[in-house]
Amino acid sequence: MSYWFRNDNRLPQARLAVASYVIVGMIGVLLLGFWKLQVIDSDKYATLAERNRVREIPVIAPRGRMLDRDGRVLVDNRPSFSVLLLRDDMAQVEKHLDAISDGLGIPLEDLKEQLDSTKSLAKFQPIIIKSDASPADVAFIESHKLDIPVLEMIPVQRRRYLPGGFLSHAVGYVGEVSEQQIEASSSKLRPGDFAGKFGLELQYNDVLEGTDGKRRVIVNSVGKEVGRLTTQEAIPGKQIQLSIDLDLQQVAEQSLGARPGAVVALDPRTGEVLAMASHPALDPNDFAIRVSTEEWKKLNEDPEKPLLNRAIQAQLAPGSVFKIIMATAMYESKAVPESFTTFCPGYATFYGRQFKCYVYWAHKPGHGVVDVHRAVNQSCDIFFYNLGVRLGIDRISYYATKLGLGHKTGIDLPSEETGLMPSEEWVHRVFHRKWYAGETVSVAIGQGAVTTTPLQLARLIGGIASGGAFMQPHMLKDAPNVGEEKFPLSDSTVEKITDDMYGVINKGGTGAALKLQDIEFSGKSGTAQVIGYNTRDRVAKQKRFVDNAWFVGYAPRRNPEIVVSVLVQESGKHGGEAAGPVVKDIIKAYYDKKNKKTQGQYTAQTKPPEPRPEPKTKAIPAAVSMPHVAVPRVALKTRDPASPATARPVSEHER
């Protein structure tokens, strides 16, 4: 005993002090750790603990409907189910991946690709692996709830469009969001969500899409739902009412038929688009779920270009419709006297080259002595060749640009094209050469470098007949903040040019076969070459190049209520023969509908617009009569400034 006590003095006091400090330090660290866990990070770990027992399942908001001007449904939704993959336990996901692939018919590579693309998302956030579950998918998930707890179904509303591509280019379609859209949405969008991709669905996506809700459920350790907590309801998107008249749209679609081309009907007093068709058309219902890479590639490589909205994107030579601009420039500028005449034998020589009138190619006699009124009526090329030489390209370009060519109309649809109105400045800037006088000869009849869209021509003709007021075209009914461009024309110019277009149909002109009883139907035909006739003759054996047919018509003669522009591509027929009947059908349908409302004979006098009736149509089952609804006022986007390639030339006054 004394031995041990004698050795107590041998323990170094320094070691005891160090051991004491270490023990105290360890206790201090533990206390700090407990403080951090229980006080500083308590909310964080409480949230993580909550997520271990509470799961949030999204409640998808339905998109707003689209209605026509009379309240009939054009685009709505249908009930469906989407399949969610719960990624809380990735080991469970990997374990059941093969079974999910077989049961839902999703290629295993696609599933792995979806998982890889969502690695950056929090694991508690589920992803949509199948947007539109079939009855077999529903049965599979319900029967394997215990075996495969990582699958969940949520009710969704899928887009439903009118069948057969009806109005498809205007309304557009929705599609699955891309990674870029997800990043730009500030976490509002998730993988598997759908958003507007084209047309009005894209233009007014912020209005049409709602705000998703969420459902909170309690799950056990294996992910099985054992209880429910609160539910945050989704806020549906707002519906919009379009200016489209379903009755006129049906006539436009049916009259154009399977021919490639476009139809645009406007109310030039307001800029409201009454009908818009582009053929060939895609069926947007095919995009309402998901389009395969192969199908998308096929659509993009299709030579008929079904993805192209020809009404606002087809940039083509306007042909003889351009002669209305030439005549307006002649009347307004007075650079060439109205008494000016030419002799048309069917051909003429300018700058050492022979140019021919269309009657030459039709093997008909020339027009003889022609003034401006007869030249418009008979569409004499020789007269306008001579007029173009006398006006010059810059004066022609000035008036054409002021009347609406070479820049966007400002319609509330994405991807509108500008067309092109050439000038000396343009050719020098783009091609770094001078403008050749012989090029003016071709431009004078709507050929050469000048290109337009069907919408531009509808707005142009409607604006001229309205005295120089060019309203911004728009697809929303009663839209606020509608733009207007004014290029005032003298009363005498408006009277002469509208009389000329009236004569085209009603006084033996190129549209004489289109005359309508008791309606002041006026307009201008156009037949535009795809390539020169001489060149076509040389390559005709290898490829088919036939003319594009145009017709732009309106009623009544002055201050029109409706203007219709029709393009039929490569019809091989005269504009009045191929495109004119489509215009006639639409204008006749417009007045038939109006007369049905008034129950009287209409004498084609200028009248204020009257309330439209509730049409009874059985052609499209989905177009049912709907009560009047409040529609959000959405400001129209202003027109983009002209691009450098299509900037307006200097004004005549500046020159």
pLDDT one-digit tens code per residue, 406-425: 999 999 999 999 999 999 99
Burial class (CB in 10 A: 0-12, 13-18, 19+), 334: exposed
Domain limits of the chain? Answer: 54-241, 246-283+313-646
Residue range 311-323: mean pLDDT, rounded: 96
Which two three-digit tokens encode residue 466? 């309205």
pLDDT at 269: 96
Whether pLDDT at 221 is above 70: no
Residue range 128-150: mean pLDDT, rounded: 85
Whether pLDDT at 43 is above 80: no
Residue range 165-194: mean pLDDT, rounded: 82
User: Regarding the domain delimited by 246-283+313-646, which CATH topology (the fold level of the hierarchy) does it fall under?
Assistant: Beta-lactamase (3.40.710)
E strand or H helix at 250: helix 246-256
Whether pLDDT at 534 is above 60: no
Residue range 443-455: mean pLDDT, rounded: 96
> pLDDT-based confidence at 144, cuts 50/70/90?
confident
Lowest-confidence region among 26-30, 442-446, 630-634, 646-650: 646-650
Whether pLDDT at 602 is above 50: no
pLDDT at 229: 81
Residue range 587-612: mean pLDDT, rounded: 62
Residue range 613-621: mean pLDDT, rounded: 37
pLDDT at 447: 95
**Which amino acid is residue 587, in one-letter code?**
I
> pLDDT-based confidence at 615, cuts 50/70/90?
very low
Q: Determine the Cα–Cα distance for residues 550 and 569; give it in Å rounded to an integer.
A: 9
Residue range 317-323: mean pLDDT, rounded: 96
- The answer for residues whose C-beta is within 8 angstroms of residue 388's C-beta and 6 or more apart is 326, 396, 440, 441, 443, 444, 445
**Range 245-282 burial, b when 16+ CB lie within 10 A, else e:** bbbbbbbbbebbeebbbbbbbbbbbbbbbbbbbbbbbb
Residue range 447-461: mean pLDDT, rounded: 97
pLDDT at 535: 47
- Check residues 601 and 564 and name the one with the higher pLDDT: 564
Residue range 388-403: mean pLDDT, rounded: 97
Only one residue has tokens 């023969």, namely 577
Decide the pairing of beta strands 66-67 and 240-241: parallel
φ and ψ of 56, to 5 deg = -100, 125
- Check residues 485 and 221 and name the one with the higher pLDDT: 485
Lowest-confidence region among 228-237, 253-262, 471-480: 228-237
pLDDT at 635: 54
Residue range 144-160: mean pLDDT, rounded: 85
pTM of the predicted protein model: 0.80
Residue range 214-234: mean pLDDT, rounded: 75
pLDDT at 533: 47
Q: Of 481, 521, 427, 526, give the one whose Cα is nearest residue 635.
A: 481
Lowest-confidence region among 110-114, 161-165, 472-476: 110-114
Only one residue has tokens 């009124």, namely 373
* CATH class of the region 54-241: alpha beta
- How many residues are recorded in the chain? 655
- Identify the DSSP state of 316: B
pLDDT at 256: 96
pLDDT at 296: 81
Only one residue has tokens 């308590």, namely 42
- The answer for residues whose C-beta is within 8 angstroms of residue 486's C-beta and 6 or more apart is 468, 469, 470
> pLDDT-based confidence at 542, cuts 50/70/90?
very low
Using a pLDDT cut of 90, give the percent of the chain over it.
52
pLDDT at 10: 53
Q: Determine the Cα–Cα distance for residues 117 and 584; give it in Å rounded to an integer.
A: 54
> pLDDT-based confidence at 276, cuts 50/70/90?
very high
Whether pLDDT at 633 is above 90: no
pLDDT at 293: 75
Whether pLDDT at 564 is above 50: yes
Which two three-digit tokens encode residue 517? 């009883």
CA atoms 524, 530, 532, 537: torsion sign? negative
Q: Of 545, 540, 541, give the one whose Cα is nearest residue 530.
A: 545
> pLDDT-based confidence at 220, cuts 50/70/90?
low
Burial class (CB in 10 A: 0-12, 13-18, 19+), 514: buried
Average pLDDT of the chain is 83
Secondary structure class of 335 (helix, strand, coil): coil
> pLDDT-based confidence at 299, cuts 50/70/90?
confident
Residue range 626-653: mean pLDDT, rounded: 42
Lowest-confidence region among 19-33, 48-62, 390-404, 422-436: 48-62
Secondary structure class of 52 (helix, strand, coil): helix
Residue range 609-618: mean pLDDT, rounded: 38
- Identify the DSSP state of 165: G
**Range 408-422 burial, b when 16+ CB lie within 10 A, else e:** bbbbbbbebbbbbbb
Q: Determine the Cα–Cα distance for residues 526 and 509; give it in Å rounded to an integer.
A: 12
Which two three-digit tokens encode residue 221? 């350790």
pLDDT at 11: 56
Residue range 217-239: mean pLDDT, rounded: 78
E strand or H helix at 127: strand 127-130
Residue range 252-276: mean pLDDT, rounded: 96
pLDDT at 52: 54
> pLDDT-based confidence at 49, cuts 50/70/90?
low
Q: What DSSP line would sit under 70-87, residue for residue?
A: TS-EEEEEEEEEEEEE--
Residue range 618-638: mean pLDDT, rounded: 43
